[in-house]
A and B are shown apart, each in its own frame.
Chain A
């Protein structure tokens, strides 16, 4: 069954997501959400009768580990992937403070 949202629900969703929505943008946002819902509704029309369950053999990880130090050999590789490095530090853009 296809769901739709109206202006009121759209505004409530924006508030819940802490998104500031200008009055002139509300209709556009409502239409976009309804488009997404319509697309999702197409899934309901699919015939899945002969589709086998998807199974995944996942390596079982322990929920806890012993307190033993391990050393990661490829540290420099990951550091080299950072956008900007300065000396041994990762460099990040200016942080805007509130004061």
Chain B
């Protein structure tokens, strides 16, 4: 199938991203939101089970987190918003309606700047609204799907958990842009402590609206895709849908406005239902809840409490530490990693070298162990000491990497790790290094002869000798000095 880059028609994508808010309790009742792995129907109460006579009471933290996310997206926080009932009859809703914001939402009209394929792009945000999550259905079939199920089972532990839904304008024009938007949004949510943003556990869910424009530039018929539980799924589902819609239109067919489900195993989208319109849901105001009133003073308070945002940190790192955009993008991807890097620099490590060590070595060790920076055992101050020793040429980079591996695996001091590595912090330089090089050259006179007679066109033999010197010195020599002294020796 042709990919999106070869699409004959312009691609128009808008995303609806649901983010589970990082509250302790549900949106309208004091049940815990910690439902992963819990026995079904234990985090429930009369409110979220919709027992008649109960009344919802809004969680204050959900309002604050929704406003904070809205501010991060450059939205205007509304002084007045309210909740509606969105009616649909499905057993994952205990009340047969979902309490959600509609029309008057907590935040409107923002944007998120992303970079995709090396180009900056601004994706406008239509609005952010608060709503409650539905329960979880389990279908007792072989493949767990609804089709063929004689009955279904419901777990309401998730029912009522607070979500913020962020609705973008249709400003993305490729699956890669859609992915980059979600990545940036997730980063923002994590920086703001609004959500953990884990797609695998369902804390962040994406529905995509996609259409192909007509020849006259007007928007084509929109199709909604659901059930994408990873960034890879999102991209693949959009790629598939672009190819499918192009094929339908090429053969003279027309696109039906509908909701389609992404089948991750088969890598296809399947028609789920005709797309609902707002009137299908019979929205009407939730009379059991007072409107959300946020005063200007409260909004100012939310603004003052905002932490440094990812792009602000990125710009500051570039300015203060003289790092490149690419370096800073990696360092600021997670705020915990950015903080770690800042602590390493604060402990005296040179910013540029510290950036290399955190980006390359710390991330390598974390990846190898499947670990997270927040529980990385090597303290920033110890790493700073190690980096300083490399900077001062007391240790070679090679030996310092081995030492870092040791320090991250065992609870030992830097001195002990240096001792165990066999390296001396005394550098092998000048005459001492020259003696080693003389010895290596004497023992490999045939190689030296090959180089001197100009037969080592690609420089492989020189590198061979350099490697022998580094091995002999056990990393106590500076590679650039080895290279320089060896060149002089071979020229002589």
A contacts, CB < 8 Å to B: 61-70, 72, 75, 78-79, 86-95, 97-99
Complex Cα spacing A98 to B272, Å: 7
Q: Would you give the shortest CB distance from B485 to chain A, in whole angstroms?
A: 66
Evaluate contact between B153 and A90: CB separation under 8 angstroms.
Answer: yes
Evaluate contact between A67 and B61: CB separation under 8 angstroms.
Answer: yes
Evaluate contact between B272 and A99: CB separation under 8 angstroms.
Answer: yes
Evaluate contact between A90 and B41: CB separation under 8 angstroms.
Answer: yes
Which residues does chain B contribute within 8 Å of A97, judged by CB atoms?
146-147
Evaluate contact between B57 and A65: CB separation under 8 angstroms.
Answer: yes
Evaluate contact between A69 and B41: CB separation under 8 angstroms.
Answer: no
From the candidates A64, A70, A79, A92, name the one contacting B30 in the complex (CB within 8 A): A70
B46 at the interface (CB under 8 A from A): yes
From the candidates B51, B59, B272, B289, name the one contacting A78 in the complex (CB within 8 A): B51
**A92: nearest residue on chain B (CB-CB)?**
B91
Total number of B residues with any Cβ neighbor in A under 8 Å: 44
Kindly count the residue-residue contacts between A and B in the assembled complex, taking CB atoms under 8 Å apart.
100
Given A90-B154, A95-B146, A95-B149, are A68 and B25 neighbors across the interface (CB < 8 Å)? yes
Interface residue SS majority, chain A: loop
Evaluate contact between A99 and B271: CB separation under 8 angstroms.
Answer: yes
Which residues does chain B contribute within 8 Å of A94, judged by CB atoms?
149-152
Which residues does chain A contribute within 8 Å of B156, judged by CB atoms?
90
From the candidates A68, A75, A86, name the one contacting B153 in the complex (CB within 8 A): A86
B221 at the interface (CB under 8 A from A): no
B24 at the interface (CB under 8 A from A): yes
Q: Would you give the shortest CB distance from B331 to chain A, in whole angstroms?
A: 32
Given A90-B154, A94-B150, are A66 and B60 neighbors across the interface (CB < 8 Å)? yes
1/0 contact string of B458-483 vs chain A (CB within 8 Å): 00000000000000000000000000
1/0 contact string of B53-69 vs chain A (CB within 8 Å): 00101111111000000
Complex Cα spacing A70 to B154, Å: 22
Which residues does chain B contribute within 8 Å of A72, judged by CB atoms?
31, 44-46
Complex Cα spacing A69 to B156, Å: 16
1/0 contact string of B133-170 vs chain A (CB within 8 Å): 00001100000001101111111100000000000000
B10 at the interface (CB under 8 A from A): no
B325 at the interface (CB under 8 A from A): no
Which residues does chain B contribute within 8 Å of A70, judged by CB atoms?
25, 29-31, 45
B23 at the interface (CB under 8 A from A): yes
Closest 10 CB pairs of A and B: A70-B30, A89-B153, A67-B61, A72-B45, A63-B290, A88-B40, A92-B91, A64-B60, A90-B154, A65-B57
